[in-house]
Amino acid sequence: MRTAAVVFENPGMLAVRQLALNPPEPSDVVVESIFSGISSGTEKMLYEGTMPVFPGMRYPLVPGYETVGTVIEAGASSGRAVGDQVFVPGASCYAEAAGLFGASAARLVVPGPRTVQIRFERPEEAALLALAATAHHAVSRSTRPASLVIGHGVLGRLIARIVMAAGHPAPTVWENLNVRRASAQGYAVTTSEDDRDQRHDVIIDASGDAAVIDTAIARLNRQGELVLAGFYGGRVDFGFPTAFMKEAMIAIAAEFTPSDLDAVLGMVGAGRLSLGGLITHHSAPSDAASAYRTAFTDPDCLKMIIDWRNAA
């Protein structure tokens, strides 16, 4: 069995080509992909070659951890059935490339328990589940509700929505790019300059910009908490005297857990959390090189979706 897949051949080199798939085991499912999202953080670092080395990381590699598809083959012990709609947070199923994170392909072989069974009226929105679960994980890292979120990309928007979905007051969101300030849903978007007088018990940084950390610490109340929810790629440091005087607590929110996914699915199912309005761009696999450039460089692009339904 073979599949069309996005392949980062080497840093800065992208192709869509046919790859051989590993044969499925009885615990595996074969998934025909419908939509997959492009991560403008993790995948950008993989593409540029700036991602810190992880076990098993090598080029060529297939990126992606935001895929929605339909089960077309289900192993006897997979726990899934043919026709199930599933979210796939990654796959490692290629004979000729590393799967890191491996879900940006037209067809996937993946252990059934790794998939998440879903029922979405708009399946493309399910491609946002990894980001939504990451946002939930970040919100859960603090002991009190966040009143400030830094960054109004998809992650920042989801963090703000989840804070409110949990029943807390709407946070303020900082965003310095004019094109990113629109389309807030029930919360205010401003800049750090316009929010100078406010102090916060909990701040979540979703910008991935280490340069904002000193500013964020200065805006904390005493014994306030700063949650780092972005991925920074290199060293992170801050001025100690201000953090010392604040007795600041700094937490890192890493990968989401199955319980975060369950919580998000529960919020969506109950109508408390919307994943709508976050997908701004679509592309065919044949235009993947252009789609990835847009996702990585165009501030108007919140989330780029690859539509695999017409993959070669």
Whole-number percent of the chain with pLDDT over 70: 100
pLDDT-above-90 percentage for the chain: 89
Residue 261 maps to a domain: no
Instruction: Please check whether residues 54 and 93 belong to one and the same domain.
Output: yes
Domain that holds residue 115: 2-122+276-310
Tell whether the model's pLDDT for residue 288 goes beyond 80. Answer: yes
Q: How far apart are CA 177 and CA 276, in angstroms?
A: 21
Q: Which of 291, 32, 268 is nearest to 131 (CA)?
A: 268
Check pLDDT > 80 for residue 135: yes
DSSP label at residue 202: E
Is position 263 within any domain? no
Helix/strand/coil for 281: strand
- 118 with 135, same domain: the answer is no
Residue 33 CA to residue 307 CA, distance in Å, equals 8
**Overall number of domains in the chain:** 2
Whether 135 and 118 share a structural domain: no
Residues 6+ apart with CB under 8 A from 196: none
Question: Does 312 score more than 80 pLDDT?
Answer: no
Task: Judge whether 260 lies within some domain.
Answer: no
Q: Which residue has the tokens 């953080």?
A: 41
Using CB atoms within 10 Å of the CB of residue 95, give its burial: 0 to 12 exposed, 13 to 18 middle, 19+ buried. exposed
Q: pLDDT of 160-209, one tens digit each?
A: 999 999 999 999 999 999 999 999 999 999 999 998 889 999 999 999 99
Residue 9 has pLDDT above 90, yes or no: yes
Residues 168 and 204 in one domain: yes
User: What span, in angstroms and rounded, lies between the C-alpha atoms of 286 and 17?
Assistant: 10
Average pLDDT, rounded, for the chain:
95
pLDDT digits (tens, 9 = 90+) for 149-174: 999 999 999 999 999 999 999 999 99
Q: Looking at the predicted structure, is the pLDDT value of residue 56 above 90?
A: no
Question: Position 211: which residue type?
Answer: A
Same-domain status, 157 and 65: no
CA distances, 43 to each of 50, 59, 191 (Å): 10, 13, 27
pLDDT tens, position by position, 209-248: 999 999 999 999 999 999 999 888 788 999 999 999 999 9
d(CA 119, CA 14): 32
> Does 262 fall in a domain?
no
Task: Look at residue 43 and give its three-state secondary structure.
Answer: helix
Which CATH number characterizes residue 300's domain? Answer: 3.90.180.10
Q: Cβ–Cβ contacts within 10 Å for residue 183, how many?
A: 12
Same domain, 101 and 213: no
CATH number for 140: 3.40.50.720
In a domain, 265, yes or no: no
User: What are the pLDDT digits (tens) for 73-111?
Assistant: 999 999 999 999 999 999 999 999 998 789 999 999 999
Per-residue pLDDT, 311: 78
Tell me how far apart the alpha carbons of residues 250 and 112 are, in angstroms, rounded to a whole number: 37
